[in-house]
Chain A
Amino acid sequence: MFAPEEYLDRIASKLRSEIGPAITDDYARTQAFMASVILERVSRQITAGFDSEQTELDEMRLRLAPQIGDDPELSALSAVATDDTGLSLLVESMYQARDRLGQDRFDQALGEVRTTLRLRLDRSLMIAEGKAS
């Protein structure tokens, strides 16, 4: 049996090269092309996988510890930042804690999170554009 992403690629290709061009109605033809674009990206999403994510987040927590280890709220949020929702909460709380942390510590801590965000963003870009940033 073909892998799901291979199915999606083939359907996308058929939509783009055969089905779309055969449609005379402008709106419906555009929809066919859009469907092919979306299926290609979903296929990339499946291919990309998420194997490295947990390791990246563990490393981020280790790098963050010296900056926020003595801040119970941020430490707790860092510990549960296991997905985009958790990371968003952590970033939002860091901005709210900026005065408490002081500018230097804030910059360093946010910088550590941004290193991880960059890796995640690169993966999203690869899916969206089909290339690494």
Chain B
Amino acid sequence: MNDSDSIDEPTDELFAPIRTYLQGRLDAEDLHLDDFARIAVGWSHETFLFDARWTDEGATKTMPLCVRRDPGNALVREMSDLTEQFKVLRALEKTDIPSPKAYWLEDDPSILGGTFIVMEKVDGVCPNPWGRDGRTFYEDAAARGVLPNSFTDALAAIHNADWRAAGLDFLGVPGPGQDFVLAEIAKWETLIEAAEHPAEPVLTDLIGWLKANAPSTDRLSLVHGAYRTGNMLVDHDRVSAVLDWELQVIGDPMYDVSYVLSDLNRQGSDLLSYLVERDAFIERYEAATGITVNLDACRYYDLLYAMRSCAFWMSASGLFMSDQNTDLRLARTAFSVPVVLDLAARHLGY
């Protein structure tokens, strides 16, 4: 008998339903979920990690697993459904992008109370770059020099992926010209409208400027949409899995590059994402992809990210104000809106 058999079962209310579900899936009556933990990350879907262990024809089998569940009141829930995530993860298995294998998708709410997916638990850690410990982790890794290259290579793998062959065109393929950018603006405008936040004239100005100055997109790639440290697992100084496949689109690869270059993800640090030197990133990225970094486009997308940030914070505080989520951290985000708008206004020259 394994030691963990004698330990009390976790008190989490979803432990028993998850085990019951997996007993059926794995045909494992004696199933144990070792090291079961609900991890607190972000305000999106709930995440549970554990090692499934059972006996099959006298042999012990193990399977490291991750369950992600839609709690029904997640941030940006309108544009981040688990069904799409599951399809994306399945498609990514046909590419060189490091990502977890997706095993099962369930949309029957009677099982866990909401849609959920079961996927591989990949080895690695995901330090939070906004905390002191996380920043130290990435800056130490930067000094060793391996992880910065892996970070850049994983982004190159995303942009080099043959998304049509992988079946990712279900994400929607923009037409030529400004189609990608205008669709992206429209998507975030929808979130802003749904948040029912009081009018912000600086944001109206920003959106007007973005529409009036939308660049053309001449190359389409799979775009992660939030590529930074904290959205990936790191194992032995390498990116073992790119996570948070929630905002991906088919679009301009500069959209991701801009996010990497953005000051938003490296406050107080010279290192992009607290990890990568800017020149080294650009040089390695261009060599790995054959794509020349377009800094004008990146500056434009930086402002689009400001709009996105406003949409996030408005949506977050809107969840609180509409009683859909009582977490006061969401209420506090209303005060982040003017901070982002200040950055945008300065970009626009006032």
- Contact surface of A with B, Cβ cutoff 8 Å: 30-31, 34-35, 37-38, 41, 83-85, 87-88, 90-92, 94-95, 98, 110-111, 113-115, 117-118, 120-121, 124-125, 127-129, 133
In the complex, whether B122 has a CB less than 8 A from a CB of chain A is: no
Q: Is the CB of B335 within 8 A of A41?
A: yes
* Chain A residues, CB < 8 A from B345: 114, 117-118, 121
Q: List residues of B (122-165) whose CB comes within 8 Å of A's CBs.
A: none
Cβ 8 A contact of A114, one of B200, B211, B348: B348
6 A/B residue pairs, CB under 8 Å, sorted by A: A35-B328, A38-B328, A85-B199, A91-B204, A115-B350, A125-B342
Q: List residues of B (329-344) whose CB comes within 8 Å of A's CBs.
A: 329, 331-332, 335-339, 341-342
In the complex, whether B196 has a CB less than 8 A from a CB of chain A is: no
Q: Is the CB of B201 within 8 A of A31?
A: no
Please, how many angstroms separate the alpha-carbon atoms of A133 and B208 in the complex? 24
Please, how many angstroms separate the alpha-carbon atoms of A88 and B310 in the complex? 15
* Chain A residues, CB < 8 A from B348: 114
* Chain B residues, CB < 8 A from A115: 350
Q: List residues of B (311-334) whose CB comes within 8 Å of A's CBs.
A: 327-329, 331-332
Q: Is the CB of B202 within 8 A of A117?
A: yes
Q: Is the CB of A31 within 8 A of B350?
A: no
- Contact surface of B with A, Cβ cutoff 8 Å: 198-205, 208-209, 211-212, 327-329, 331-332, 335-339, 341-342, 345, 348-350
Q: Which of B211, B327, B350 gathers most chain A CB within 10 Å?
A: B350
* Chain B residues, CB < 8 A from A111: 350
Q: Is the CB of A95 within 8 A of B329?
A: no
Q: Is the CB of B205 within 8 A of A91?
A: yes
* Chain B residues, CB < 8 A from A83: 199
Q: Is the CB of A84 within 8 A of B199?
A: yes
Q: Is the CB of A34 within 8 A of B201?
A: no
Q: Is the CB of A88 within 8 A of B339?
A: no
* Chain B residues, CB < 8 A from A92: 204, 208
Cβ 8 A contact of A98, one of B200, B212, B339: B212
Q: Is the CB of B335 within 8 A of A88?
A: no
* Chain A residues, CB < 8 A from B337: 124, 128
Known: A31-B328, A98-B212, A117-B350. A127 touches B199 (CB 8 A): no
* Chain A residues, CB < 8 A from B329: 30-31, 34
Please, how many angstroms separate the alpha-carbon atoms of A115 and B328 in the complex? 34
Known: A84-B198, A85-B199, A118-B350. A124 touches B338 (CB 8 A): yes
Q: Is the CB of B332 within 8 A of A34?
A: yes
Closest to A94 in B: B208
Known: A31-B327, A95-B212. A117 touches B205 (CB 8 A): yes
Please, how many angstroms separate the alpha-carbon atoms of A109 and B72 in the complex? 45
* Chain A residues, CB < 8 A from B349: 114
* Chain A residues, CB < 8 A from B202: 117, 121
Q: Is the CB of A121 within 8 A of B342?
A: yes
Q: Is the CB of B338 within 8 A of A128?
A: yes
* Chain B residues, CB < 8 A from A84: 198-201
Please, how many angstroms separate the alpha-carbon atoms of A93 and B338 in the complex? 22
Known: A88-B201, A117-B201. A95 touches B327 (CB 8 A): no
Please, how many angstroms separate the alpha-carbon atoms of A95 and B342 in the complex? 20
A114-B345, A117-B205, A128-B338 known; 16 other A-B pairs, CB under 8 Å? A34-B328, A35-B328, A37-B332, A38-B328, A41-B335, A85-B198, A87-B201, A87-B204, A88-B200, A88-B204, A91-B208, A95-B208, A117-B345, A120-B201, A125-B338, A128-B339
Please, how many angstroms separate the alpha-carbon atoms of A124 and B341 in the complex? 10
Closest to A37 in B: B332
A50 to chain B, nearest CB (A): 14
Q: Is the CB of B335 within 8 A of A128?
A: yes
Please, how many angstroms separate the alpha-carbon atoms of A31 and B329 in the complex? 7
* Chain A residues, CB < 8 A from B205: 91, 110, 113-114, 117
